[in-house]
Amino acid sequence: MRKIYSILFCLSVLSVSNLYAQNIKNGYPGKSSYFVGETAEIFISGSSYISHATIYLLDAADNRVDSVVTDIGVQFPANPNPWQNGFGYKCTFKYVVPNLKSGLYTFDDQVFFIVKSRDIKSVTVVFPSNTFEAYDSSGGKSLYNGNSTNHLRAPVVSFQRARCPGLIAWLNEIRGGVLSWLISQPDIDYKVISEMDLDDYSEIDGSQLLMIVGHSEYWTRKARRNFDNFVNTGGHAAILGGNTMCWQARYSPDLKQLICYRDSASDPGVDSLKTLYWTNPGLQYPVIASIGVDWKHGAMGIESPHGWNGYKITKPDSPVFSGTGLNMGDTLICNSSEYDGAPVAGFDAHGFPVLDTNAMGFCKAELVGYDYGKNPVNGQDSAWGTFIVLRKNLNTGIIVNTAFNECTYKGPPVIVTGENPHPTAFGGKDSTKMTRIFRNIVDILLSGQNIFSTPVNGGLITGPDTIGAAALFIDSGAAGSQQWQYSLTSANGPFTDIIQAPSDTLFFKFNGPGTFWIRSHLVNGDCLGYSANVKKVFVADTPKAVKAAPDSNAITDVSIWPNPSNDKVVVSMDMKEPGQAGISVYDIHGRLMMQQETLTGPSPRFELHFENETAGIYFANIKIGDRVLTRRIVIGK
């Protein structure tokens, strides 16, 4: 954090003026983010009066997506202490946000705002808007002494200010980095929100992956609770940045100011809301408990002569590194000015740090890379940045934490005054490897595949995606002698105990209509809890009374013969009373391969033909009334 002032200075020198930024001197929006269809107030000052000026709206890849014709006048800050009270410009024009893809947009590289989506997306990206506001000295002061007038910081800064040149250059580093990269990945279903939006859980509810990008320092207590709730109920998190959750912050009641006193005595807030380092014991909310690392355990990477200008790889077999060609001991060039770090219990035979999972409070934490640096608290050259993959327990989601500042920036390399250039993730020697790693993280977490280095096979969960009753039978697909456990989670958190299935049939009780996630876990004597498979199920109806086991009065036997087979399979069942039955067959990827109409009678019988299908594992969903049984079929050729 203490190097940001010189970074911002150099960025203001290095910044290349946008081709279209000719009519606007500076400006700001009425707020940080807007939904499509909302009306945004845009406040602009020109260097001189311009009639019918055309200004362009650009996306993160600098594509023109819209334009506005407006008169632009010359404006000056009208409020006292403009860094705190805002510039007080008159509104230049009102802009109804069109149907744009969610992301960060800018009018002529001066007025920046986020366009949000009301739709549920697989990935929600959190843009570090609070951090940019904290470092912006526009109007005279920021939250830092180093770039404030008289070197005296302000405890409160306004969101309604123009951006200083260095801040714009820094904004463009992340625009041209991870946000531009996301635009180039059209198959990733994502939306972007601001850090302030994290205070509203509905902004992230329903997403599978929360992506924290860049230098995300300033978090409110409500935002942290929402993050924890998201992960604790099964959502995944990818933290692509450093200094994450460094400071507790607050907002003014009208949401126009960011507050961070950094001093308990001068802060009028109640003790739990004091705007201090989150590592302060008085706040009783350690960052490590949320994301496995913090700034206090981290390192100033570029200041150490003992580091490697990047992460030394400790787990080359981690799925995170798939396709990168990295081997054990290789260096992933991504040296950072500031790393976050995890508690370390010691070192292994290779000299690699061993994570202290007890201190972290995570049942599974895997170090995949690390670098040495100077500790930011005591200055000792014996600290490290840690790239980790971790999970709290069997019911929670998985967190991948890259823990370094320049993770999502583009090139050219950021230059810190008096020091050597260091590469950014999108502008350095290993930028191709870094983007492959980012893509691996997204794909693996969204697909529910194993992301830890230990391989896991089996634990396949199949069944219908939507059911009308409150019970579901699911085939475990467990292979060999491996034992599996299963958990059921809803948006309100886990509500069933972990169960261990003695056979290939599972039975769950649902607590009402809604969306549920069923996860399989390999039992291996500890709490590693590898999630080998995740199935999302929607329960359409209100809860019904269900029994704790399949109704033995309805079904006496289900037979699949021959199994394994190489062509035809016969599925038959005996029921004590005549009833209706139907069957659907899916491949291992969940694709419907064949389906037969409902049969009526005491002994329904289905013939399934696999002569034209490939060898492998298939799943037969047998529907009997409002229940579904799933059985595994093995086809060999």
Encode pLDDT of 486-529 as tens digits. 566 655 444 444 444 444 445 555 555 666 666 665 554 444 44
Helix (H, G, I), strand (E, B) or coil at 403: coil
pLDDT for 11 equals 39
The fraction of the chain above a pLDDT of 90, given in percent, is: 53
Q: What is the mean pLDDT of residues 280-288?
A: 96
Helices 4-14/165-174 angle, 10° precision? 90
Which of the two residues, 3 and 210, has the higher pLDDT score? 210
pLDDT band with cut points at 50, 70 and 90 for residue 396: confident
Look at residue 424 and tell me whether its pLDDT is greater than 70. no
Among 37-46, 76-85, 234-243, 569-578, name the one with the lowest average pLDDT: 569-578
Give how far the C-alpha of residue 344 lies from the chain's centroid of Cα atoms, to the nearest Å.
Answer: 25
What CATH number does the domain located at 557-635 have?
A: 2.60.40.1930
13 vs 487: CA distance, rounded Å: 54
Largest CA distance in the chain: 89
Range picked from 66-80, 359-373, 615-629 for highest mean pLDDT? 66-80
Cβ–Cβ under 8 Å, residues 591 and 614: no
Cβ–Cβ under 8 Å, residues 157 and 143: yes
CATH class given for the domain over 466-539: mainly beta
pLDDT band with cut points at 50, 70 and 90 for residue 429: confident
pLDDT for 278 equals 96
Q: What is the mean pLDDT of residues 51-75?
A: 96
Q: What is the mean pLDDT of residues 94-122?
A: 96
Helix (H, G, I), strand (E, B) or coil at 205: coil
Which of the two residues, 614 and 191, has the higher pLDDT score? 191
Per domain, the residue ranges of the chain are 466-539, 557-635
Look at residue 52 and tell me whether its pLDDT is greater than 60. yes
Look at residue 95 and tell me whether its pLDDT is greater than 80. yes
Contacts for 202 with CB less than 8 Å, ≥ 6 apart: none
Q: What is the mean pLDDT of residues 399-416?
A: 74
Burial classification of residue 421, based on how many CB atoms lie within 10 Å of its CB (0-12 exposed, 13-18 middle, 19 or more buried):
middle
Look at residue 418 and tell me whether its pLDDT is greater than 80. no
